[in-house]
A and B are shown apart, each in its own frame.
Chain A
Amino acid sequence: MPTGGVFSGSVNLKYVKLGYQYLVNHFLTLLLVPVMAATALELARLGPGELLSLWRSLELDLVHILCSAFLVVFVGTVYVMSRPRPVYLVDYACYKPPASCRVPFATFMEHTRLISDDDKRVRFQTRILERSGLGEDTCLPPANHYIPPNPSMEASRAEAQVVIFSAIDDLVRRTGLKPKDIDILVVNCSLFSPTPSLSAMIINKYKLRSNIRSFNLSGMGCSAGLISIDLARDMLQVHPNSNALVVSTEIITPNFYQGSRRDMLLPNCLFRMGAAAILLSNRRREARRAKYRLVHVVRTHKGADDRAYRCVYQEEDDQGFSGISLSKELMAIAGDALKSNITTIGPLVLPMSEQLLFFFRLVGRKLINKTWKPYIPDFKLAFEHFCIHAGGRAVIDELQKNLQLSPRHVEASRMTLHRFGNTSSSSLWYELAYIEAKGRMRRGDRVWQIGFGSGFKCNSAVWKCLRSIKTPTNGPWDDCIHRYPVDVPEVVKL
């Protein structure tokens, strides 16, 4: 039967592929085994007496042995000291908003109806919410609950203090970190940068040292969390024996859009409050209790292209209300940015089998047949866990398709979008907390965090887990992890 033939053919192909992968990835081991076996046989054949006479014939005296030993130690030290310092993620903490800030669908819709007479606007926002993938537990800051919302600087500062200080307090509790031990501070918050900066606010609250190296990144979008990690990593390479505190957040209060342009209403529906505080270190003694080690950070900036640059753009509408417009080409641009990022990160993380396949297919396309489709490497071989920025349901769908991931791989992203909404740069950390809370993080697992943001940027970070994480994790998911995963329908009828 044709189908049976095709089925058996595809099964055979699967085994061929598995065999090929095993062969290429373990090539050196497979080569070494027969060589070792031959040597062992040869030695066994010689016998102990002959071995001893062979040893004596080398005419080794004490000087030679000492020199050789010294040399081995010297070369080993040189090698170890010239490696770049490893960067450890000791621990991280995510902000869990209080239940009083909850915005279930009914609250959101009622609020929208009360602050606006524009019926079309209300209907449009309802439609977005129905298809957004958000759940009933997402939270907005207190200022946004007012009728109408109160986006004053004072309220924005209050939100910043609550989310950031809670996250840092939680991190201090988990790690026993002393404020005087923080050497580097990197804060990123895209749409709120007061003077004095949020980093100065943290220095003031926790009485950090006066020679701290602090940086306040702003305006860099939803992928800024990984930019902060990159900066912290560079600072840790330059300064030995240091701790770096990275704080990623997005302050929602000043960014409520009060107009009626459709492309600007989306952020109102999707962005929710959240924050994460991460402790990185390059101290050797932290290696024992650190959770992860940073392996790679790859950044891609598509700003040179007009369409990519305008895709997430803050501007004023005709009535003078400021908001962030999301263009319809967002998905296409995100896919494009991801492809650029993958071409850089692929060779760094993919096993040799995938790289060879990609290379041969590329050569084939160029020389043999131009119609061959480009080979999409199987990233599931390189990573056990994926944290895709929970920008929206469409982004997660697009990436799942592009990277050929199974629903289990994107579960962390979908569930974070459902429970916490789009918390911008800190969403990657909520997703990681989900994976840990589910007890899936084992020692040796590799995690890929992908962030997208205005610019248009696509940034990736690769982490390697250093110890299996036991549940319960005392994280933001603890009280609700038993309910997850939930099935998020395409459309929730409101």
Chain B
Amino acid sequence: MELLPLLTVLLLAHAVVYLAWQAVSRRRRACCYLLDYACHKPSDDRKVTTEMAGDVIERNKRLGLSEYRFLLKVIVNSGIGEHTYCPRNVLQGREESPTHDDALEEMDNFFADAVAGVLAKTGVRARDVDLVVLNVGSFSPAPSLVSRLVHRFGMREDVMAYNLSGMGCSAGLIAVDLARNVMLTRPRTTMALVVTSESCAPNWYVGTDKSMMLGNCLFRCGGAAALLTNDPAFRGRAKMELRCLVRANIGAHDDAHAAAVHREDADGRLGVSLSKALPKAAVRAFTENLQRLAPRILPARELARFASRLLLRKLLLAPRKHTAAGNKAEGPASSPKIDFKTGVDHFCLHPGGTAVIEAVRKSLGLTAHDVEPARMTLHRWGNTSASSLWYVLSYMEAKRRLKRGDRVLMATFGSGFKCNSCYWEVTRDLADAGAWEDCIDKYPPETLVNPYMDKFGWVNDVQGQGSGFLF
């Protein structure tokens, strides 16, 4: 063959091969597998029983009858059971004066259990971890907790470490988002460790502001560590594959931004104030998120059906506006609802509280079976903030609900106000009970009612404004 055509063909072949190789390697890096995860199970002596809760409330001499009644109402309706965990300093009666070491001890317990657990389960060594993202909402010491993790497990010098803080209950998915984005830019495959928890020890509220006492009733100790990787070699062992992640932040609206604020109360005591506008902000953020999520995860048929119904309603409703005393039955009941169950098999909802779960259930049109994992997590573990959705996922796994090919939607809400959601596809049948192992057979229980009404219901019957009761 002549020289010039030969050269041309060789160069062309090289360019095609190079382009193909680039495309393939970009595709490989773009996948994100959940290798495994572990949820933190604190030691049993830290369980919050009804007696213990009574002791804690009684210790706070500032509380009066109206506060007791309020607390009772909240706890009875909270959906929280007798097996949630509190930090050790509250157990030892030191909730008014937590020390720096108390907070660090809580974190160390969590690292020793969950992080060591997930590394042991998968056989990944700490030195193989390339990227660590840690999120703990309201505690950020110096050196950062992620540095503490790097130190404790002896990770490499070139490990990429990120420490997120202050981002609320939905920060678990922000950490996953960060890990996924960094993984996409690295030339080699990356093993990422995503660690999420919340610090309860320094954040027990000891004042009398009702909006801040809610936190004491709902937030409990917990945490989770997950290993993510984009190495195709792990595909066989991975549990789930990440398909898409959508973040919505409606902080631009002032009332949404002020829905959950860590601030001082009138007496100068620190606490997280949950405003009455929180449910509305949650719904707004959720809608914003779902609007962007739906086109990416639902089948085209469902989207077409919804669009056509919406259009039909618009066309039909326009002339009816002019008729007198418009047909009341054609109100909200007929507004078309998009059916997420066409694209999602399991719903992993943030167990923020019974009200939140119920609101989400109504808006998505889910059944009691769909929200059972979230309700049971709230009962067993309380609201463990950003890590709670890993407990919900673990419940589904323990109940053998997750089969290969199933699609899971995780949705969380948090201060900001944010709503983040994440869509996974299960890659193999899952059966690991994890932190639920010792109690999964008892769930769902006969009744979710906790014994607080039985023990402390007499508070509602007491007359007068007395305070300082002996329990």
Contact = CB atoms under 8 A, between A and B. Distances in A.
Interface of A: 58-60, 64, 67-68, 71, 74-75, 78, 82, 84, 152-154, 157, 190-191, 193-201, 203-204, 207-221, 227, 230-231, 234-235, 237-238, 299-304, 306, 309, 312-316, 320, 322, 324, 340, 344, 454-457
B163 A220 contact: yes
Interface stretch (B48-56, B65-73, B148-156, B296-304): B148-156
B260 interface: yes
A196 B15 contact: no
Contacts of A302: 157
B251 A216 contact: no
Contact of A74 (B15, B99, B168): B15
B100 A216 contact: no
Given A191-B140, A203-B416, A211-B247, 20 more contacts: A60-B4, A71-B15, A154-B263, A190-B140, A195-B166, A196-B260, A200-B167, A200-B257, A201-B257, A210-B250, A210-B288, A215-B164, A218-B144, A237-B184, A238-B181, A299-B160, A304-B151, A312-B142, A314-B142, A454-B142
9 contacts: A193-B138, A193-B166, A195-B261, A196-B261, A211-B292, A301-B155, A301-B158, A302-B157, A315-B100
B168 A196 contact: yes
Nearest to A235: B181
A218 B252 contact: no
Given A196-B166, A204-B252, A219-B163, A213 B247 contact: yes
Contact of B143 (A196, A303, A316): A303
Contacts of A208: 249, 251-252
Given A203-B249, A306-B151, A219 B157 contact: no
B198 to A, nearest CB: 10
B249 A303 contact: no
Interface stretch (B264-272, B389-397, B403-411, B450-458): B264-272
A29 to B, nearest CB: 26
Interface stretch (B5-13, B36-44, B116-124, B205-213): B5-13
Contact of A216 (B159, B164, B247): B164
Interface of B: 2, 4-5, 8, 11-12, 15, 18-19, 22, 97, 99-101, 137-138, 140-148, 150-151, 154-168, 174, 177-178, 181-182, 184-185, 247-254, 257, 260-264, 268, 270, 272, 288, 292, 415-418
Contacts of B163: 217-220
A218 B168 contact: no
A339 B161 CA distance: 20
Contact of B249 (A200, A235, A237): A200
A112 to B, nearest CB: 23
Nearest to A76: B15
A313 B142 contact: yes
Contact of B165 (A59, A216, A315): A216
Residue from B147, B150, B161, B185 having most chain A Cβ neighbours under 10 A:
B147
| Pairs of residues from A and B, 6 with the lowest C-beta to C-beta distance, nearest first | A219-B144, A197-B166, A218-B165, A219-B140, A193-B166, A203-B251
Given A203-B416, A322-B100, A237 B185 contact: yes
Given A153-B270, A234-B181, A211 B248 contact: yes
B286 to A, nearest CB: 12
B386 to A, nearest CB: 11
B164 A203 contact: no
Contacts of B145: 219
Contacts of B272: 195
A78 B12 CA distance: 11
A209 B253 CA distance: 11
A201 B258 CA distance: 10
A170 B416 CA distance: 25
Contacts of B167: 195, 197, 199-200, 216
Given A74-B15, A309-B143, A64 B4 contact: yes
